[in-house]
DNA sequence: GCACGAGTTTGCAGTCACTGCATTCTTATA
DNA sequence: TATAAGAATGCAGTGACTGCAAACTCGTGC
């Protein structure tokens, strides 16, 4: 029953409350600094009880970090596995970037979050940790790509290690790219940053900028 | 006055207390799991007040993680900068490994710490964060190496980015290598693991396993 | 020996994040 | 409209951590 954007008053209210609290929290943190804001302050500004706050977000960080970035779409994953480019790392990072960008509907809020995360070491750490949690999943994807390319764990005994290493490296790259991204003040195209990052990787890890195909 | 290992009763007492508390903490955490151990429990076992505990270690994690790993010796740093091997990443990771290993005088305790860190995501995260804090310092080292090799920021405008990217990648590698290291149950030579890691990097990032020299 | 001062340990009160549980609304539905 | 499913809230409690002031201990000069 009812339209698509809202089924039920309940849902709508929940969403509204959530949004109100998030905005309040981000605004407060932007003004006073994350660790000078107490959960109680957020609750007052968001007009909910502390208990409700924790029901919604689970932790103080949770409200700033926002919901955990969604996994790449099946389609993107499939492309990564079956249509490999010249460079695992590049492809992987590009895929992740694609799934991270555009998560938050409100660009204003999105930027505010990024800003806070960048300037608050504690938050930056947590954000990285969150990415880290998906490591297992990702390394399985890389492994799938390897298999699709005909490489087997029998021919290459440490293929699993190699997959995990790809993820480890990619994490590093994302670390770097995220930092760069947060640094720029205008919403420059992430694509460009990514391109630069991948260039750097090539330069650092061997084949000259022109050599091209590897893996 | 007195011998070299101990100047003053005060110092000695401090060291003893510190050791007692650390051992107690690690033992308790090993037995009950890090987050089921309270600071009060540690204090009781370590025979100090809670206040003293925090004076010593600053936080609950602090007592498990141990003192922050020392920076590489000047000598090691100099070698890294002025006697470059074939691979920045490899050299860097090797240098770090050298400065991390052998920090803790008591191998028993050392292993226990590693074990705890590995099995406690929270601690693992913090450990990585601690490494991350030294990023600035390290990227300056890499930059120095670049300069020593005759590369200037004028000829290569994003040389600083490149240095930071090296660190980012290295962080990833260390992440991977640490994990592998913690996994093995016998105190296998880190050198070997490192070698394997560096092999993987080569394989992933371009030039085939045999090509050799790069950078 | 001893007194005095710097350096330490401790108790205590308080803040803040976070949790479990019982109670009180609200919304959906029969 | 009664009633159940679903939230929101209050409250009491735990556990990490901090500031402050009082008590204590070691090192020194006498």
Cα of B194 vs its chain's centroid, Å: 14
> Residue B112 pLDDT > 90, yes or no?
yes
Residues of chain A with pLDDT > 70: what percent? 88
Give the model's pLDDT for residue A214: 37
Q: Given pLDDT bands bounded at 50, 70 and 90, which one contains residue A138?
A: very high
Structure-model confidence comparison of residues A39 and B85, the more confident one: A39
Whether the per-residue pLDDT at A108 is higher than 80: the answer is: yes
Query: pLDDT grade, residue B210 (50/70/90)?
Result: very low
What is the predicted pLDDT for the residue at B123? 96
- Contact: A165, B176; criterion CB under 8 Å: yes
Q: CB distance from B175 to chain A under 8 Å? A: yes
Question: For the stretch B12-46, what's the b/e string if a residue is b when 16 or more beta carbons lie within 10 angstroms of its beta carbon?
Answer: eeeeebbeebbbbbbebbbeeebeebebeebbebb
Ordered structural domains, chain A, with CATH: 9-63 (1.10.10.60), 74-204 (1.10.357)
Between A11 and A9, the more confident residue is: A11
Q: How far apart are CA B13 and CA B15, in angstroms?
A: 5
Q: What is the pLDDT of residues B15-28, one digit of tens each?
A: 999 999 999 999 99
Could you tell me if A201 lies within 8 Å of chain B, comparing CB atoms? yes
More confident residue, A211 or A76: A76
Q: What is the DSSP string of B88-137?
A: HHHHHHHHHHHHHTT-SS-HHHHHHHHHHHHH-HHHHHHHHHHHHTTHHH
Six token digits for residue B205: 């990032």
* DSSP string for A6-69: --SHHHHHHHHHHHHHHHHHHHHHHHH-GGG--HHHHHHHHTS-HHHHHHHHSSHHHHHH-SPP
* H or E, element range at A103: none
Give the range among A81-85, A107-111, A196-200, B146-150 with minimum mean pLDDT. Answer: A196-200
Average pLDDT taken over every residue of chain B: 85
Residue (of B118, B98, B87, B133) closest to B184 by Cα position: B118
Instruction: Please determine, for residue B206, whether its predicted confidence score (pLDDT) is greater than 80.
Output: no
Search chain A and give the residue with CA nearest B214: A206
Question: Within an 8 Å CB–CB cutoff, is residue A144 touching chain B?
Answer: no
Reply yes or no on whether the pLDDT at B32 is more than 50: yes
B86-105 residues touching A, CB cutoff 8 A? 88-89
Is the pLDDT at B172 greater than 50, yes or no?
A: yes
B4 token code pair: 């070299």
Cα separation, B120 vs B34, whole angstroms? 7
pLDDT of residue A185: 63
Interatomic CA distance for residues A54 and A43, integer angstroms? 10
Answer positive or negative: Cα dihedral of B155, B156, B160, B162. negative
- Confidence category of residue B6, pLDDT binned at 50, 70, 90: low
**Which pLDDT does position A150 carry in this prediction?**
94
The closest of A206, A63, A83 to B88, measured between CA atoms, is A206
Give me B140's structure tokens: 């300056």
| Mean pLDDT score, B183-187 | 66
């Amino acid at each position: 029953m009812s339209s698509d954007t809202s089924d039920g008053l309940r849902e709508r209210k929940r969403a509204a409350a959530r949004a109100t609290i998030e905005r309040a929290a981000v605004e407060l943190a932007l003004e006073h600094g994350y660790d000078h804001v107490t959960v109680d302050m957020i609750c007052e500004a968001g007009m909910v009880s502390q208990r409700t706050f924790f029901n919604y977000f689970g932790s103080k960080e949770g409200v700033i970090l926002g919901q955990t970035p969604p996994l790449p779409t099946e389609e993107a994953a499939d492309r990564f596995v079956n249509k490999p480019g010249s460079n695992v790392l590049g492809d992987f990072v590009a895929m992740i970037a694609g799934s991270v960008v555009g998560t938050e509907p409100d660009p204003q809020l999105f930027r505010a979050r990024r800003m806070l995360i960048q300037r608050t070491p504690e938050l930056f750490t947590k954000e990285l940790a969150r990415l880290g949690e998906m490591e297992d999943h990702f390394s399985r994807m890389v492994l799938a790509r390897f298999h699709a390319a005909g490489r087997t764990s029998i021919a290459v005994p440490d293929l699993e290690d190699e997959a995990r290493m790809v993820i480890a490296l990619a994490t590093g790259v994302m670390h770097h790219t995220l930092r760069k991204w947060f640094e720029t003040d205008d919403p420059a195209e992430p694509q460009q940053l990514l391109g630069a990052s991948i260039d750097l990787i090539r330069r650092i890890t061997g084949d000259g900028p022109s050599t091209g195909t590897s893996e």
